[in-house]
Chains A and B, each alone.
Chain A
Amino acid sequence: MNNRTCAVLLLAAVLAAGCAITQTVKPVTVAGITDLCIKRNSRVMMSSFLPELTSQIEKKGIHTTVYDGERPASCKYSLDYTANWHWDLAMYLVFAEINVYDSGLLVGQATYDAHAGGGRPDKFGPTADKLRGLLDQLFARS
């Protein structure tokens, strides 16, 4: 392999790696979740995020209850989340993380990270669609 080929391959690798949107999902490992308590995150500025999250989970047949502060003792299964958006001519979801717990132990996690995806057009699009992709995988086994 000559130097020019090496340079082209390296540039291609750099460009590909530099335009990545990563979605990492570790599906919930416990089955039979029927009730889920969701901890409200007041630092998530998009007010429609929590209603969308609860709505999509409810559509999976899981009853949700939103709480603030400490997890109520009656909540065996709980969920917390965070989400951030960036502006690039339009708002787009740049990071989201959803954690599911069984009695306080982390049993499932979904992460969407577009921090390195600045050059990709698919960074745009409804947050609801991106959330659906995460939740479908997160609750695939439960």
Chain B
Amino acid sequence: MTPATYMVSQDTKSALAKYQGAKLMFADLSGPAAFDPMCRAVGKISVADGMTIGQFVAKGFNDELKFAGLYAADRVKLTGTVTKAAFSSSAAVVNGYWDLAITLQSINGQSMSVESHHDFEAGFIGASACNNTSRALGPAVQQLVQKTVNDPRFAALIR
């Protein structure tokens, strides 16, 4: 299975520009409590470097912070939980989706929850469809991260 990789986004960098001066990082997110990584009868969804979904989501946030110049390794300001991670590789026969949800907590006591739905073209043949599903986790997390930092509640988390 082709592992998911995270690609930084210029849109997210632009969205984070208003927080210049802030320095933070995300600790690995815990959860999800229930996640079935099996894709059809092909194999398990794979994440680069053997990361868990929570580690991969945290990497997504931290990569964006680094790209925007806001990352500081000696600060742990945000923790959280992946409350939902689910996918389909056969929606409408040849399409797929990822559903992700997280709850973030700040050391200042603020918290927020975000959900994201990402559609992609999976394909029909099992091996190919599952590879595409595995790879689509990257864009799905990118969408989740972008939705989070664009949410007005995010500002309260990093004060």
Contacts of B2 in A (CB 8 A): 97
User: Which of A13, A107, A108, A115 meets B94, CB within 8 Å?
Assistant: A13
Binds A, one of B79-87, B103-111, B120-128: B120-128
B93 within 8 A of A: yes
CB-CB contacts below 8 Å: B115-159 with A = 123-125, 127-128, 131-132, 135
B28 CB-CB contact with A under 8 Å: no
A110 to B127, CA, bound (A): 19
Q: Contact string, A99-115, partner B, CB cutoff 8 A, digits 1/0?
A: 10011011111010101
Contact indicator B124/A103 (Cβ below 8 Å): no
Contacts of B128 in A (CB 8 A): 20, 22, 113, 115-116
Residue of A29, A113, A115 touching B8 (CB-CB under 8 A): A29
Interface presence of B6 (CB below 8 A): yes
Supply 21 A–B pairs (Cβ within 8 Å), ascending by A: A17-B94, A17-B123, A17-B124, A18-B125, A20-B123, A20-B128, A22-B123, A22-B128, A26-B7, A29-B8, A29-B9, A106-B6, A106-B7, A107-B7, A107-B8, A108-B7, A113-B128, A113-B131, A116-B125, A116-B127, A116-B128
B residues within 8 Å of A by Cβ?
2, 5-10, 63, 66-67, 93-94, 123-125, 127-128, 131-132, 135
Supply 15 further A-B pairs (C-beta < 8 A) apart from A22-B132, A106-B5, A109-B5. Answer: A13-B93, A17-B94, A17-B124, A20-B128, A22-B123, A102-B8, A102-B67, A103-B66, A105-B63, A106-B8, A107-B7, A111-B135, A113-B128, A113-B131, A115-B131
